[in-house]
Amino acid sequence: MSLVNALIRATLPLAPRPVIRFFARRYVAGTTLDQAVATVRRLAGQGCCATIDVLGESVTQRAQAGAARDEYLRVLDVLPSERLEANVSLKPTQLGLAIDEGFCRDNIAAIIEKAASLGGFVRIDMEDSPTTDATLRVFRSLAARFPGRTGLVLQARLRRTLADAAALGAERANIRLCKGIYLEPRPIAYEERDIIRNAFVSALRVLLRAGSYVGIATHDEWLVEQALAIIADLGLRPDQYEFQMLLGVDPQLRRIIVDGGHTLRVYVPFGTHWYPYSVRRLRENPTIVRAGLEGFLRGRLDR
Protein backbone atom coordinates (compact mmCIF):
# COMPACT_ATOMS: atom_id res chain seq x y z
CA MET A 1 0.00 0.00 0.00
CA SER A 2 1.29 3.49 -0.85
CA LEU A 3 2.36 5.84 1.91
CA VAL A 4 -0.45 8.27 1.03
CA ASN A 5 -3.09 5.54 1.29
CA ALA A 6 -1.64 4.37 4.61
CA LEU A 7 -1.75 7.95 5.89
CA ILE A 8 -5.37 8.38 4.77
CA ARG A 9 -6.28 5.09 6.45
CA ALA A 10 -4.66 6.08 9.72
CA THR A 11 -6.19 9.56 9.84
CA LEU A 12 -9.72 8.75 8.64
CA PRO A 13 -11.14 8.32 12.15
CA LEU A 14 -9.91 11.86 12.92
CA ALA A 15 -11.73 13.41 9.95
CA PRO A 16 -14.87 15.46 10.64
CA ARG A 17 -18.10 13.52 10.13
CA PRO A 18 -19.27 15.63 7.14
CA VAL A 19 -16.02 14.73 5.34
CA ILE A 20 -16.59 11.00 5.98
CA ARG A 21 -20.18 11.36 4.87
CA PHE A 22 -19.16 13.11 1.65
CA PHE A 23 -16.65 10.47 0.58
CA ALA A 24 -18.75 7.50 1.75
CA ARG A 25 -22.05 8.57 0.18
CA ARG A 26 -21.68 5.97 -2.62
CA TYR A 27 -21.77 3.15 -0.02
CA VAL A 28 -24.95 4.17 1.80
CA ALA A 29 -28.44 4.45 0.26
CA GLY A 30 -29.42 7.31 2.55
CA THR A 31 -30.81 7.89 6.00
CA THR A 32 -34.44 6.87 5.32
CA LEU A 33 -36.25 3.68 4.37
CA ASP A 34 -37.73 5.48 1.35
CA GLN A 35 -34.20 6.11 0.05
CA ALA A 36 -33.26 2.46 0.61
CA VAL A 37 -36.37 1.29 -1.25
CA ALA A 38 -35.62 3.68 -4.14
CA THR A 39 -32.10 2.20 -4.35
CA VAL A 40 -33.44 -1.37 -4.31
CA ARG A 41 -35.88 -0.43 -7.08
CA ARG A 42 -33.06 1.07 -9.17
CA LEU A 43 -30.96 -2.08 -8.66
CA ALA A 44 -33.92 -4.26 -9.67
CA GLY A 45 -34.00 -2.32 -12.93
CA GLN A 46 -30.39 -3.43 -13.45
CA GLY A 47 -31.26 -7.10 -12.88
CA CYS A 48 -29.95 -7.20 -9.27
CA CYS A 49 -31.69 -8.20 -6.08
CA ALA A 50 -30.80 -6.73 -2.69
CA THR A 51 -30.34 -7.21 1.00
CA ILE A 52 -31.29 -4.23 3.13
CA ASP A 53 -29.22 -3.39 6.20
CA VAL A 54 -30.40 -0.95 8.85
CA LEU A 55 -27.10 0.64 9.88
CA GLY A 56 -26.13 0.24 13.51
CA GLU A 57 -23.88 -1.87 15.74
CA SER A 58 -22.41 -2.26 19.22
CA VAL A 59 -25.48 -1.02 21.08
CA THR A 60 -25.20 -0.93 24.85
CA GLN A 61 -28.81 -0.22 25.82
CA ARG A 62 -31.86 -2.45 25.46
CA ALA A 63 -33.93 0.44 24.11
CA GLN A 64 -31.48 0.94 21.23
CA ALA A 65 -31.64 -2.76 20.34
CA GLY A 66 -35.45 -2.63 20.54
CA ALA A 67 -35.49 0.37 18.21
CA ALA A 68 -33.29 -1.48 15.70
CA ARG A 69 -35.60 -4.53 15.87
CA ASP A 70 -38.64 -2.31 15.23
CA GLU A 71 -36.93 -0.64 12.29
CA TYR A 72 -36.29 -4.05 10.74
CA LEU A 73 -39.95 -4.97 11.25
CA ARG A 74 -40.85 -1.76 9.42
CA VAL A 75 -38.55 -2.67 6.53
CA LEU A 76 -40.18 -6.10 6.29
CA ASP A 77 -43.63 -4.47 6.25
CA VAL A 78 -42.70 -2.32 3.28
CA LEU A 79 -40.95 -4.88 1.06
CA PRO A 80 -44.00 -6.96 -0.03
CA SER A 81 -46.02 -3.89 -1.05
CA GLU A 82 -43.07 -2.79 -3.20
CA ARG A 83 -42.87 -6.27 -4.82
CA LEU A 84 -39.07 -6.18 -4.60
CA GLU A 85 -36.82 -9.26 -4.38
CA ALA A 86 -34.98 -8.28 -1.24
CA ASN A 87 -34.16 -9.74 2.14
CA VAL A 88 -32.54 -8.15 5.20
CA SER A 89 -29.11 -8.36 6.84
CA LEU A 90 -28.48 -7.51 10.47
CA LYS A 91 -25.67 -7.31 12.97
CA PRO A 92 -25.98 -9.22 16.28
CA THR A 93 -24.42 -6.39 18.32
CA GLN A 94 -27.05 -4.05 16.88
CA LEU A 95 -29.73 -6.35 18.30
CA GLY A 96 -28.11 -6.54 21.75
CA LEU A 97 -25.46 -9.30 21.66
CA ALA A 98 -23.13 -7.26 23.89
CA ILE A 99 -25.97 -6.81 26.42
CA ASP A 100 -27.26 -10.36 26.67
CA GLU A 101 -27.18 -13.28 24.22
CA GLY A 102 -30.75 -14.43 24.96
CA PHE A 103 -32.08 -10.88 24.55
CA CYS A 104 -30.29 -10.62 21.21
CA ARG A 105 -31.62 -14.01 20.08
CA ASP A 106 -35.19 -12.97 20.98
CA ASN A 107 -34.86 -9.72 19.01
CA ILE A 108 -33.55 -11.53 15.94
CA ALA A 109 -36.22 -14.23 16.36
CA ALA A 110 -38.93 -11.54 16.20
CA ILE A 111 -37.44 -10.29 12.91
CA ILE A 112 -37.12 -13.78 11.40
CA GLU A 113 -40.63 -14.71 12.52
CA LYS A 114 -42.00 -11.70 10.67
CA ALA A 115 -39.82 -12.36 7.61
CA ALA A 116 -40.93 -16.02 7.58
CA SER A 117 -44.61 -15.01 7.70
CA LEU A 118 -43.97 -12.98 4.54
CA GLY A 119 -41.87 -15.64 2.80
CA GLY A 120 -38.69 -13.66 3.47
CA PHE A 121 -35.17 -14.34 4.70
CA VAL A 122 -32.81 -12.82 7.28
CA ARG A 123 -29.02 -12.87 7.02
CA ILE A 124 -27.03 -12.59 10.25
CA ASP A 125 -23.81 -10.68 9.51
CA MET A 126 -20.55 -11.70 11.19
CA GLU A 127 -18.72 -9.10 13.26
CA ASP A 128 -15.33 -9.21 14.98
CA SER A 129 -13.88 -12.43 16.38
CA PRO A 130 -14.93 -11.99 20.05
CA THR A 131 -18.53 -12.34 18.81
CA THR A 132 -18.06 -15.38 16.54
CA ASP A 133 -19.00 -18.17 18.97
CA ALA A 134 -22.05 -16.36 20.33
CA THR A 135 -23.19 -15.49 16.79
CA LEU A 136 -22.91 -19.15 15.77
CA ARG A 137 -24.95 -20.21 18.81
CA VAL A 138 -27.65 -17.63 18.06
CA PHE A 139 -27.71 -18.65 14.40
CA ARG A 140 -27.95 -22.39 15.07
CA SER A 141 -30.78 -21.95 17.54
CA LEU A 142 -32.73 -19.73 15.11
CA ALA A 143 -31.99 -21.88 12.04
CA ALA A 144 -33.47 -24.87 13.90
CA ARG A 145 -36.55 -22.83 14.82
CA PHE A 146 -37.03 -21.20 11.37
CA PRO A 147 -35.62 -23.65 8.79
CA GLY A 148 -34.69 -22.00 5.51
CA ARG A 149 -35.43 -18.50 6.79
CA THR A 150 -32.05 -17.44 8.10
CA GLY A 151 -28.41 -17.60 7.11
CA LEU A 152 -25.01 -16.69 8.51
CA VAL A 153 -21.74 -15.15 7.31
CA LEU A 154 -18.31 -16.78 7.40
CA GLN A 155 -15.07 -14.82 7.06
CA ALA A 156 -12.28 -16.50 5.06
CA ARG A 157 -9.73 -14.41 6.97
CA LEU A 158 -10.32 -16.40 10.19
CA ARG A 159 -8.21 -19.51 10.73
CA ARG A 160 -11.23 -21.33 12.18
CA THR A 161 -13.39 -20.82 9.08
CA LEU A 162 -12.54 -24.01 7.19
CA ALA A 163 -13.70 -26.07 10.19
CA ASP A 164 -16.80 -23.90 10.59
CA ALA A 165 -17.54 -24.30 6.88
CA ALA A 166 -17.31 -28.09 7.17
CA ALA A 167 -19.67 -28.15 10.16
CA LEU A 168 -22.16 -25.67 8.69
CA GLY A 169 -21.98 -27.38 5.30
CA ALA A 170 -22.99 -30.65 6.97
CA GLU A 171 -26.01 -28.75 8.36
CA ARG A 172 -26.75 -27.39 4.86
CA ALA A 173 -26.66 -23.89 6.35
CA ASN A 174 -27.20 -20.90 4.07
CA ILE A 175 -23.87 -19.06 4.19
CA ARG A 176 -22.54 -15.76 2.87
CA LEU A 177 -18.80 -16.18 2.42
CA CYS A 178 -16.63 -13.05 2.49
CA LYS A 179 -13.00 -12.22 3.25
CA GLY A 180 -13.82 -10.46 6.53
CA ILE A 181 -13.48 -6.76 7.18
CA TYR A 182 -12.36 -6.76 10.82
CA LEU A 183 -8.63 -6.66 11.48
CA GLU A 184 -7.87 -9.54 13.81
CA PRO A 185 -4.70 -10.64 15.64
CA ARG A 186 -2.45 -13.02 13.73
CA PRO A 187 -3.12 -16.09 15.94
CA ILE A 188 -6.79 -15.81 14.93
CA ALA A 189 -6.64 -14.61 11.34
CA TYR A 190 -4.55 -14.75 8.19
CA GLU A 191 -2.97 -11.47 7.19
CA GLU A 192 -1.59 -12.13 3.72
CA ARG A 193 -3.91 -11.36 0.79
CA ASP A 194 -3.04 -14.55 -1.09
CA ILE A 195 -3.55 -16.79 1.95
CA ILE A 196 -6.96 -15.18 2.55
CA ARG A 197 -7.87 -15.71 -1.10
CA ASN A 198 -6.87 -19.39 -0.97
CA ALA A 199 -8.77 -19.85 2.30
CA PHE A 200 -11.83 -18.30 0.62
CA VAL A 201 -11.59 -20.78 -2.27
CA SER A 202 -11.16 -23.75 0.10
CA ALA A 203 -14.14 -22.78 2.27
CA LEU A 204 -16.27 -22.11 -0.81
CA ARG A 205 -15.50 -25.53 -2.26
CA VAL A 206 -16.33 -27.24 1.05
CA LEU A 207 -19.65 -25.40 1.39
CA LEU A 208 -20.81 -25.87 -2.20
CA ARG A 209 -19.79 -29.54 -2.25
CA ALA A 210 -21.79 -30.11 0.93
CA GLY A 211 -24.90 -28.61 -0.70
CA SER A 212 -25.02 -25.30 1.18
CA TYR A 213 -26.53 -22.33 -0.64
CA VAL A 214 -23.69 -19.81 -0.71
CA GLY A 215 -23.72 -16.04 -1.18
CA ILE A 216 -20.30 -15.48 -2.73
CA ALA A 217 -19.57 -12.00 -1.40
CA THR A 218 -16.58 -10.43 -3.10
CA HIS A 219 -15.48 -7.78 -5.59
CA ASP A 220 -12.20 -9.59 -6.15
CA GLU A 221 -12.37 -10.64 -9.80
CA TRP A 222 -9.85 -13.43 -9.22
CA LEU A 223 -12.17 -14.93 -6.61
CA VAL A 224 -15.18 -14.51 -8.88
CA GLU A 225 -13.32 -16.48 -11.55
CA GLN A 226 -12.34 -19.18 -9.04
CA ALA A 227 -15.95 -19.40 -7.86
CA LEU A 228 -17.21 -19.77 -11.42
CA ALA A 229 -14.71 -22.58 -11.99
CA ILE A 230 -15.91 -24.43 -8.85
CA ILE A 231 -19.55 -23.89 -9.86
CA ALA A 232 -18.87 -25.33 -13.32
CA ASP A 233 -16.84 -28.18 -11.84
CA LEU A 234 -19.68 -29.17 -9.50
CA GLY A 235 -22.31 -28.65 -12.22
CA LEU A 236 -24.37 -26.33 -10.01
CA ARG A 237 -27.57 -24.66 -11.21
CA PRO A 238 -27.93 -20.86 -10.84
CA ASP A 239 -30.44 -21.38 -8.01
CA GLN A 240 -27.81 -23.09 -5.83
CA TYR A 241 -25.65 -20.01 -5.18
CA GLU A 242 -25.56 -16.26 -5.69
CA PHE A 243 -22.94 -13.53 -5.92
CA GLN A 244 -23.12 -10.59 -3.55
CA MET A 245 -21.54 -7.13 -3.69
CA LEU A 246 -21.65 -3.95 -1.65
CA LEU A 247 -23.51 -0.87 -2.82
CA GLY A 248 -21.07 1.59 -4.36
CA VAL A 249 -18.38 -0.94 -5.32
CA ASP A 250 -17.50 -1.91 -8.91
CA PRO A 251 -20.84 -1.68 -10.79
CA GLN A 252 -19.04 -2.90 -13.92
CA LEU A 253 -18.19 -6.26 -12.31
CA ARG A 254 -21.79 -6.38 -11.09
CA ARG A 255 -22.97 -6.01 -14.71
CA ILE A 256 -20.58 -8.72 -15.93
CA ILE A 257 -21.87 -11.19 -13.33
CA VAL A 258 -25.54 -10.41 -14.08
CA ASP A 259 -24.93 -10.69 -17.83
CA GLY A 260 -23.36 -14.11 -17.18
CA GLY A 261 -26.76 -15.31 -15.95
CA HIS A 262 -25.93 -15.41 -12.23
CA THR A 263 -27.98 -14.02 -9.35
CA LEU A 264 -26.35 -10.87 -7.95
CA ARG A 265 -27.48 -9.42 -4.62
CA VAL A 266 -26.38 -5.95 -3.55
CA TYR A 267 -25.98 -5.03 0.12
CA VAL A 268 -27.95 -1.82 0.62
CA PRO A 269 -27.30 -0.12 3.98
CA PHE A 270 -29.34 2.84 5.15
CA GLY A 271 -30.03 4.76 8.34
CA THR A 272 -28.77 7.45 10.62
CA HIS A 273 -25.97 5.31 12.14
CA TRP A 274 -23.88 5.49 8.97
CA TYR A 275 -20.56 6.55 10.53
CA PRO A 276 -18.75 3.29 11.59
CA TYR A 277 -19.81 1.48 8.41
CA SER A 278 -18.63 4.40 6.26
CA VAL A 279 -15.23 4.57 7.95
CA ARG A 280 -14.73 0.81 7.44
CA ARG A 281 -15.55 1.12 3.73
CA LEU A 282 -13.20 4.08 3.22
CA ARG A 283 -10.37 2.39 5.13
CA GLU A 284 -10.87 -0.59 2.82
CA ASN A 285 -10.38 1.63 -0.20
CA PRO A 286 -8.56 4.87 0.68
CA THR A 287 -8.03 5.59 -3.03
CA ILE A 288 -11.61 6.97 -3.06
CA VAL A 289 -10.55 9.67 -0.60
CA ARG A 290 -7.20 10.14 -2.29
CA ALA A 291 -8.79 10.69 -5.74
CA GLY A 292 -11.24 13.18 -4.20
CA LEU A 293 -8.48 15.11 -2.43
CA GLU A 294 -6.31 15.15 -5.55
CA GLY A 295 -9.23 16.49 -7.61
CA PHE A 296 -9.92 19.16 -4.99
CA LEU A 297 -6.26 20.25 -4.85
CA ARG A 298 -5.96 20.27 -8.65
CA GLY A 299 -9.06 22.50 -8.82
CA ARG A 300 -7.52 24.93 -6.29
CA LEU A 301 -4.19 25.04 -8.17
CA ASP A 302 -5.91 25.58 -11.54
CA ARG A 303 -7.70 28.66 -10.20
Closer residue to ligand FDA in complex, CB, 112/245: 245
Smallest distance, ligand FDA to C-beta of residue 245, A: 5
Closer residue to ligand FDA in complex, CB, 46/117: 46
Active site residue 159: no
Assess contact for 49 and 264: CB atoms under 8 A: yes
Taken as a whole, the chain contains a residue count of: 303
Q: What is the distance between the alpha carbons of residues 68 and 58, in angstroms, rounded to a whole number?
A: 11
Smallest distance, ligand FDA to C-beta of residue 302, A: 27
Give the pairing of strands 264-270 and 122-124: unpaired
- Tell me which of 105, 149, 157, 176 is the catalytic residue: 176
Assess contact for 265 and 243: CB atoms under 8 A: yes
- Tell me which of 53, 69, 125, 164 is the catalytic residue: 125
Closer residue to ligand FDA in complex, CB, 186/300: 186
3-state secondary structure of 256: helix
Q: Give 205's Cβ-side CA count (13 Å radius).
A: 10
Smallest distance, ligand FDA to C-beta of residue 267, A: 4
Smallest distance, ligand FDA to C-beta of residue 301, A: 26
Closer residue to ligand FDA in complex, CB, 94/244: 244
Active site residue 21: no
32 Cβ contact list (under 8 Å, min separation 6): 270
Find the Cα–Cα–Cα–Cα dihedral 55, 22, 50, 53, rounded to 10°: 0
Give me the residues that bind ligand FDA (CB under 6 A), please.
125-126, 153, 155, 176, 178-182, 217-220, 244-246, 249-250, 267, 281, 284-285, 288
Which residue numbers are catalytic? Answer: 125, 176
